[in-house]
Structures are given as C-alpha cells and as structure tokens.
Amino acid sequence: MTLRKQFPLVVNPILRLFSSLQICARCKSAMGTKMLEAHTPKIYYGIPRLIDSTRLNHHDAGDSTIVKRDGPPWRVMFFGSDNFSIASLKALHKCRTEGKLIEKLHVVCPETKYIKRKGKTRIISPIWQYCHDNDLTHFPWPITPEVKGYDIGVLSSFGHLVPGHLIESFPYGIANVHPSLLPRWRGASPITSAILGGDKTTGVSIMGLRPKRFDVGPILLQESIEIPHRCTTESLQETLASQGADMIVRFLKDLPTFHANGKAQSEEGVTLCGKIVPKMAIVSWSKMCDEIDRLYRAIGQDFPLETSWNGNQVRLNQMNDPKVTADLEINMEGALLGELYYHKPTQQLCVKCKDGWVSFGEVTFRKKMTAKDFYNGFLSGKNIGRQCFV
C-alpha cells in the first residue's frame, strides 16, 4: 500500500502544492501562482512579433564589407524608441520606398517601455509598433557587437548610450536628431526644459554621436524656430519632430558635405536637463504666475499639478492663460499665498500667487470635478472661512 493511500490527508495536500508550483523566469525560484504574479512585472502581452532578426550578420543585414560610399542611395540603420522618433522614421521609410536616397533601412529599438505613473506596467514601443505595421526589419536592443553593411546610423530620442565600437562600425558614424539648440539643453528632457526655462526660441540639432556622453558631438546641421505662445510639451514636440524629419532627409541628400563640415559645440551656454519626475508637479504658490503656467504647460499632460488642501492632495487641471486671469475682477484684499477665490462669472477656481492670481477650470479631489462643483461641495457656506492651498 502506497503512502498516498495510507496517509491521504497528509500526502495529497503536499502533492497538490508541488504540482501547482511554477518556475520564475527571472530568478528560477519555485513559487505559487499568486506569488509569481506579484513577483513578475506586469507586461503587455499583445506585443506583435516582428521579423526574426536577433543577429545582424546574416543575409538580411546585407553586405559584410565596409565601403565608404560618396553618394546615395544610403544604407541606414535607425535607432529610436518613442513618439518623437516616429516622424524621422516615417520620413526615412518614405525615402526607402522611393529608392533614390535610401537603399536599405533597418531599425533598432526596445520592444516595450514603461508607462509613466503606472508602476511596472509596459506598453509597446511606438517604433516597434510602426515596424510591425510596415514590415520593417527590426533588431532588439542591445544588438550584437559586429555591425556591417551600413553607411550611417540615424538616432532620434533613443535613451541609451551607444558604445564607441558600434558608432565606428558606420563609415559616416551616427547622426543624432536632438530637439534643442545645442549646447543648450543637453540631456533627457530638452523640449520640457525649454518651456520650463521660458525660452523664446528652440530648434533641432543634427549632431555626430560620441560614445560615453550624451549630446556633446559636433553640430552637423542646426535650425531654430520661435516657441509658440502657451504651447505645451506635446504640441512643441510634434512641431520639432516634423522639423527634425525634414532636416535628416536634407542632411542625407548631401551627407558627405555635412559630415566633413561639422563644428564642435561651444563651451559657452551649456545647460543640462535631467528626467522629469513626479515631485516636480508640486506647486509652490510663492512663485510667479508665469512660472506656474510654464510648469503646467511643460509637465501637466503627464504629471498634473499638485497641491495640498486641509492635508489632502488636490490635482489641478484646465489652467487658464494668466493674462486672461489677470483681467478678472477678484475682490479680495490682503490675500495670502495659495488663498482660494471662486470667480462665479467664469466658473474658475483662482489661487493667489506671488504676483497675482492663476485660475483652473477642473480639480481632482477624491474624484475629478469642475471648479464649480468643488466650490459648491467644499468652499461655499457660512462657516467655511478663508481657504488656502499649501
């Protein structure tokens, strides 16, 4: 008689336990289903499968010899990851389809990326999705060390340092499409930083990529534009992405000349910018109205402005132009910084700043609501008194 028949109450639960265990792909430990779900990052499982291109040195990658051509059509490898990159990739893809400027176009990009503010949830990289939709050969990052059969690399908002041996594998190096007037705003958030800094002009720089450091290479082509009044990071990004796409095509049309005439960046006027983080959205009401407006336009679409009211978090949306708010009749003398005033004719919630008032049409307190609903629910009444955001 087996142990299972002799001691069913003891043996059967143990067998069920072991049969339900699964092996974690990350740490190779055995664990139950619920523990495995908590242990594993949430991943978007609808990722499309692309052309199987895990190695570069096969027939799909082209010629294995390194020959520096003196004119088009060029063999291009594109590096990108996000929505800013899409415009340049579309322009290059169009050129490849026409066949006069580009002979071969292959793409390197990460498969997925993290969604901001949502922990470890992943979404498909926009570049990956574009490759899938348009049957473009794709190589996942990082790629194998040896790359042959290309004339130039084109990089746009890639987010990864490219090693020197990879840059040197392209006869004309790698050209980086950067959305600022370098050396101003080197780093991860040039468009956002231009708005935060109150810049009147910005632009796009095509520069030669250098290993180990971001945005320090020679300027190959650079053009400026005026920043539109009260534009957001999203709208300015769209404008600069389109400008960068046009510039990279013009750059490739006369590649040898631009490559030979690159100019080193000036050591004067260098400014650096880092990644945008959620804590930047916390408003200080001691700032000027224009500063708060720039903060809202720069990061509000990803990180809504935050403040505190009676110890509770409040998020602020639908900010008005400070010049329009300045024309409102606000009858409150001796207002404190952060003090609230509801303007009934326009149904706007006004907040006192260092040099005046800013106003919002929508707030999130427990749930999203209009400024009118927030006033009626929490600020109106005989014994409410004067209220302030802090």
The residues that bridge with 114 in the sheet, in sequence order, are 122
| Pick from 89, 381, 82: nearest CA to 249 | 89
CA distance 127 to 112: 9
Which whole number is the average pLDDT over 333-349?
A: 95
Q: Write phi, then psi, for 227 (nearest 5 degrees).
A: -80, 125
| Pick from 61, 255, 68, 71: nearest CA to 175 | 255
| Pick from 174, 177, 178, 103: nearest CA to 143 | 174
Q: What angle, 0 to 180 degrees and rounded to 10, lies between the N-to-C axes of helices 83-98 and 126-134?
A: 20
First-to-final CA distance of the chain: 75
pLDDT tens digits for 272-310? 999 999 999 999 999 999 999 999 999 999 999 999 999
Confidence category of residue 175, pLDDT binned at 50, 70, 90: very high
Contact criterion met (CB below 8 Å) for 236 and 187:
no
**pLDDT surpasses 50 at 53:** no
Strand 174-178 and strand 201-208: the pairing is: antiparallel
**pLDDT surpasses 60 at 15:** no
Residue 387 burial (CB count, 10 A): 15
The strand ranges marked E within 209-321 are 219-226, 272-273, 305-309, 312-319
Peptide bond into 304 cis (omega under 30): no
pLDDT tens digits for 121-132? 667 788 988 998
- The pLDDT score that the predictor gives to residue 35 is 57
Which whole number is the average pLDDT over 131-159?
A: 89
Can you say whether the dihedral through the CA atoms of 210, 214, 217, 221 is positive or negative? Answer: positive
Which residues lie below 8 Å from residue 38, measured CB to CB, with a gap of 6+? Answer: none
- The CA dihedral of 183, 188, 191, 192, to the nearest 10 degrees, is -120
Confidence category of residue 331, pLDDT binned at 50, 70, 90: confident
pLDDT tens digits for 221-265? 999 999 999 999 999 999 999 999 999 999 999 999 999 999 999
Residue 245 burial (CB count, 10 A): 21
- The pLDDT score that the predictor gives to residue 110 is 83
CA distance 18 to 179: 55
Strand 138-140 and strand 22-23: the pairing is: unpaired
Which residues lie below 8 Å from residue 108, measured CB to CB, with a gap of 6+? Answer: 77, 78, 79, 138, 139, 140, 141, 143
> Domains in the chain, please, with CATH?
3-39 (no CATH), 59-273 (3.40.50.170), 278-379 (3.10.25.10)
Strand 138-140 and strand 152-156: the pairing is: unpaired
**pLDDT surpasses 90 at 8:** no
